[in-house]
Chains A and B, each alone.
Chain A
Amino acid sequence: MRFSIFQESRKGGREANQDRTSYAYTRDALLMVVADGMGGHLHGEVASQIAAQLLTEAFQREAKPKLADPSGFLQKSITDAHFALGDYAKARSLIESPRTTCVACVVQDSTAYWAHVGDSRLYHVRQGRIQAQTRDHSRVQMLVDQGRVREEAVAAHPDRNKIFNCIGANALPQVELSKPTRLREDDTLILCTDGVWGPLTGNLIAGALLKSDLMKAVPALLDLAEVRGGADSDNLSVVAMTWAETHPGAIAGEVSTRTLKRDGVTTQLEDFSKADHSDLTDEEIENAIEEIRAAIRKHTPQKRS
């Protein structure tokens, strides 16, 4: 396999970065993951971290060097992440599970398989045009589908953050799977959080890739989204990959997996130790204290009268 790949996650104007990105590849398969922990809920960054880590670890175990069933893999590991978040909440007596969106994509045999839950997106771009994109599991997307809101108005809509499907909620996540999609030379897959797609349009994203290569185009798109997002810009995260099966050496930042051993796995996961720890807000302090008090109440034997 040959491809070039780029990943970046920015805090934007927020106090904490609750997004996580990761990718991993073997000689014959590639996994990319973007997750956006939900800030309104406790431990958003824990949720996205667990999801990204769990998918990546499952890939490391199962891609030997290919996955037997990529769609099945995505379905199962996203569901596993849901249960892992439930366990995490239970172990800490949290009132509710931490929650996250997730979009993940496997590429093997020149074919892409993707899955998503929530409003983190995947765009499949071919020659400057959007070939396919995921449909957000959000209230505002429903309104677009019903023709009640125009696509361009989504970013400014008051309900834009309301999603009805995520990992870690009470209900099981409904994992939406793509059809297997054959990739052509120079096709690009972009996985990103709403901090990136919100302030931009699909056409702008696709068009940027025509003008320069991935390694320059994607950081420039992040810059633009961050500027447009303003002082209160959301976290911005992206993993983008351009497929280069046949003409080697033509693109910057290229990865060739031919030299990898059959069972070798390379992983790039942004982890907690790299994330900044300075992000304990007043609200988080209050939440932590409330959580501890709830645990004390739960584990204190009741006095008998």
Chain B
Amino acid sequence: MISHLRTMWLVFRHLFMKKATIQYPEEKVPLYPRWRGRIVLTKDPDGGERCVGCYLCAAACPVDCIALQATENEEGRRYPEFFRINFSRCIFCGYCEEACPTYAIQLIPDFEMAEYKRQDLVYEKEDLLINSEGKYPGYNFYNVAGLDAGVKEKGKGKDEETPVDIKSLLP
């Protein structure tokens, strides 16, 4: 009997305690920078697309929600012809971000992407591309790659030696 009354008193005291509820639309949940939400495609510091269409993200995706087609411009720079993510399938695991060799695909802290029509959850490249460098500012893949794709000449990159003439025997 006494223990029951004590229980009731202890429960009653919760009336004045801080509530755990976050009143969502007015009050937002704190999201941290590494929180895995909506997927975006980021750009180079000079505005070029980072994605080189290597298909590693599509291969890493456990639910097969990424579809893309790689192509090349006249300078030899690869880019995706189309890039499509079906967010009704995506499980926000972040494997695509881990797989990406050029830091192009990134998950950002945003989850408010509900739609009335399922078809609207399929994001095309223009929906995914953002005008930002995302989590890796200043990074340009073609600056450190040994390839001339219109960004820098071969051998002119940072920490890059000039190419060796492999057909010559001179040191």
Bound together: no
| A-binding residues in B (CB < 8 A) | none
| B-binding residues in A (CB < 8 A) | none
